[in-house]
Amino acid sequence: MVLTPGTFVEAGLRSTLYKKLQDLPVSFHDRWPSGQLLSRATQDLSLIRRWLSFGVVLLFANALTIVVGLAILFTFHWLLGLIFFLISIPIWIQGYRFEAKYGEVARLSQDQAGDLATSVEESVHGIRVLKAFGRGDHAARKFAAEAKGLRSTELKKAGLIANIWVYLLLIPEAAVAASMLVGVFLVAEGSFTVGGLVAFFATATVLRWPTESIGFLLSMTLDAKTAIQRFFEVIDEPVLIKDPEVAKTIGSPKGRLEFKNVHFRYPDSKPDQPDILRGVDLVLEPGESVALIGITGCGKSTLTALTTRLYEVSSGSIELDGVDIRALTRFELRSHIAMAFEDATLFSASVRDNVLLGRPDSTEDELKEALSIAQADFVYELPEGLDTKIGEEGLSLSGGQRQRLALARAVAAKPAVLVLDDPLSALDVDTEALVEAALRKVLKKTTALIVAHRPSTVQLADRVALMQDGKIVAVGKHSDLLATNDHYRYVISSLDSAGKQIEVS
């Protein structure tokens, strides 16, 4: 009866937290360690559920028992009841001190548990790097130090509970002893009956367990209080990127993408730091492909991330077919613009589910076409073909295979605008050539913004936009820029024209 509502609330809170995490912008996830979020979704909600299922019920019942019991003791004899009450005052004083100290330590413990979860996650995801560089022992020592810190904090919690238990055990005994001495004196004096004294101590005995239970119930309550605070730290985070109250819609998008005086800086940037993007102006006509090139750190990837509102522009605007993308719902915007990142992220699901993530209602022929364009025919050789589960983050595949599946996912979405953030960096030269040949057919009917790090990728585009220090400094055909722009020649000469001879594993 009690457990079911608690588990229901826990499930509801967990769903609310997950939905909130999906709504929060990428900038939030950049700041928060994943282990801290994981501990809030698991350990903290379990603490809240245990408190709702048992703690709050027992705390209410025992507190009511103590209050009613003290009132009954006063009805037997006011002096004996007063003695019991006065001697119990140190319990309330210690309880107040315990709350302040234990709450602080409980918060530290839960934060340390989150840090520990982060360390485990990083070690598991980076196990290849740790092994390759022989840093497994170093990681183990770091983890042991964090675990030791958590153990020390838990011992402090146990020590605080033990200290208050001393008061909870000894003070009631002292109250009983003092009441007995006074009670015997009152009986001898004739102002109190033996039966009344026996009834008084029978009632006092009933109050022993509720009083002794205050310690663990108070600690459980404070743990739950801290867990609730940590939960609402995420829930109360402002959602900076929202859908408009009255959204516009684009029925049949043509794919015209325009950047108008776009500025961008991260929300937590210092006031004296310059903007990452400083007045970007660029127009992509429907069906046109534009390559974006520049030296490392000039803002290319940042600019592409703004197209789907992974981050919000600081000033200026980005328009799709003449409509400010902030006037569209995020769902509609991301159905019109698809991205393929250099760092290909795959999920622990089947090949089919990964590729059709952006358009799950695609037909089998459309799925095969997307795989063919991305030169991802290797999937048919996997143990269960398209239904093969590729494991967490696709680490069972090579880097090139992951990139090809990520590219197939973007192509399968059939967007009006395709944004490619150097999606071919892990491919060998031969595979890259095949992918580029297939992409040319796709790009004839799709607007594309391509971050290029190779001359061969630049040649995919109709025009090239040269970025420098957060600005577009030149736009034109590759041959024209090569002939007229010194910085463009410098950037092109610094690109890896030969490419990788062996696909990254």
Task: Please compute the mean of the pLDDT values over residues 34-61 and round it to a whole number.
Answer: 91
Mean pLDDT across the chain, nearest whole number?
88
For the chain, the domain total comes to 2
- Residue 180 in any domain: the answer is yes
- Residues 461, 452: contact at Cβ < 8 Å? yes
pLDDT in tens, 138-192: 888 999 999 999 999 999 999 998 888 888 888 888 888 898 899 898 898 888 8
Residue 219 maps to which CATH number? Answer: 1.20.1560.10
Q: Which ranges in 190-284 belong to alpha helices (H)?
A: 194-206, 208-212, 214-235
The dihedral through the CA atoms of 322, 325, 331, 337 has a sign that is positive
- Residues 221, 51: contact at Cβ < 8 Å? yes
250-267 CB burial, b ≥16 within 10 A, e <16: beebebbbbbbebebbee
Q: Are residues 268 and 203 in the same domain?
A: no
Q: Are residues 32 and 100 in the same domain?
A: yes
Task: Report which DSSP code applies to 44.
Answer: I
- Residues 474, 485: contact at Cβ < 8 Å? yes
Distances (CA, A) of 330 to 247, 325, 414: 10, 8, 17
Q: Are residues 262 and 228 in the same domain?
A: no
- Residue 240 in any domain: the answer is no
Residue 224 is encoded by which pair of tokens?
Answer: 């739950």
User: At which residue do the structure tokens 């022929």 appear?
Assistant: 365
pLDDT in tens, 269-318: 888 888 999 999 999 999 999 999 999 889 998 999 999 999 999 999 99
Q: Are residues 66 and 209 in the same domain?
A: yes
118-138 CB burial, b ≥16 within 10 A, e <16: bbeebbeeeeeebeeeeeeee
Which range marks the domain in which residue 219 is found?
Answer: 3-235
pLDDT of residue 125: 77
Residue 285 is encoded by which pair of tokens?
Answer: 């006509």
pLDDT in tens, 435-477: 888 887 777 788 999 998 888 778 878 999 999 999 999 999 9
pLDDT in tens, 233-255: 999 999 889 999 999 999 889 99
How confident is residue 2, by pLDDT bands cut at 50, 70 and 90? low
Model pTM? 0.82
Q: Are residues 24 and 92 in the same domain?
A: yes
Task: Please compute the mean of the pLDDT values over residues 341-363 and round it to a whole number.
Answer: 87
C-alpha–C-alpha distance, residues 257 and 448, integer Å: 9
pLDDT of residue 46: 93
Q: Are residues 227 and 261 in the same domain?
A: no
- Residue 417 in any domain: the answer is yes
Strand ranges of the sheet holding 257-264, from the earlier edge strand across to the other edge: 277-284, 257-264, 315-320, 323-324
C-alpha–C-alpha distance, residues 294 and 297, integer Å: 8
Q: Are residues 196 and 293 in the same domain?
A: no
How confident is residue 498, by pLDDT bands cut at 50, 70 and 90? very low
Q: Are residues 194 and 265 in the same domain?
A: no
- Residue 249 in any domain: the answer is no
Q: Which helix (H) or strand (E) holds 73?
A: helix 56-76
- Residue 195 in any domain: the answer is yes
Task: Please compute the mean of the pLDDT values over residues 372-384 and round it to a whole number.
Answer: 90
C-alpha–C-alpha distance, residues 309 and 290, integer Å: 20
Task: Please compute the mean of the pLDDT values over residues 334-361 and round it to a whole number.
Answer: 88
Q: Are residues 149 and 268 in the same domain?
A: no
C-alpha–C-alpha distance, residues 151 and 139, integer Å: 18
Task: Please compute the mean of the pLDDT values over residues 68-73 and round it to a whole number.
Answer: 90
Q: Using DSSP bridges, classify how beta strands 315-320 and 323-324 pair: parallel, antiparallel or unpaired.
A: antiparallel
Task: Please compute the mean of the pLDDT values over residues 384-405 and round it to a whole number.
Answer: 83
Residue 501, pLDDT above cutoff 90: no
How confident is residue 3, by pLDDT bands cut at 50, 70 and 90? low
Distances (CA, A) of 499 to 11, 389, 400, 433, 504: 50, 30, 13, 11, 11
pLDDT in tens, 96-144: 888 889 989 999 999 999 999 999 888 887 887 888 888 888 888 999 9
Q: Are residues 229 and 266 in the same domain?
A: no
**What 3-state DSSP class applies to 447?**
strand
Residue 476 maps to which CATH number? Answer: 3.40.50.300
Q: Of 121, 118, 112, whose CA–CA distance to 147 is shortest? A: 112
How confident is residue 426, by pLDDT bands cut at 50, 70 and 90? low
CA atoms within 13 A on the CB side of 233: 16
Residue 504, pLDDT above cutoff 50: no
Q: Are residues 223 and 271 in the same domain?
A: no
Q: Are residues 442 and 317 in the same domain?
A: yes
As a whole number of angstroms, the longest Cα–Cα distance in the chain is 118
Residue where a domain stops, chosen among 235, 270, 295: 235
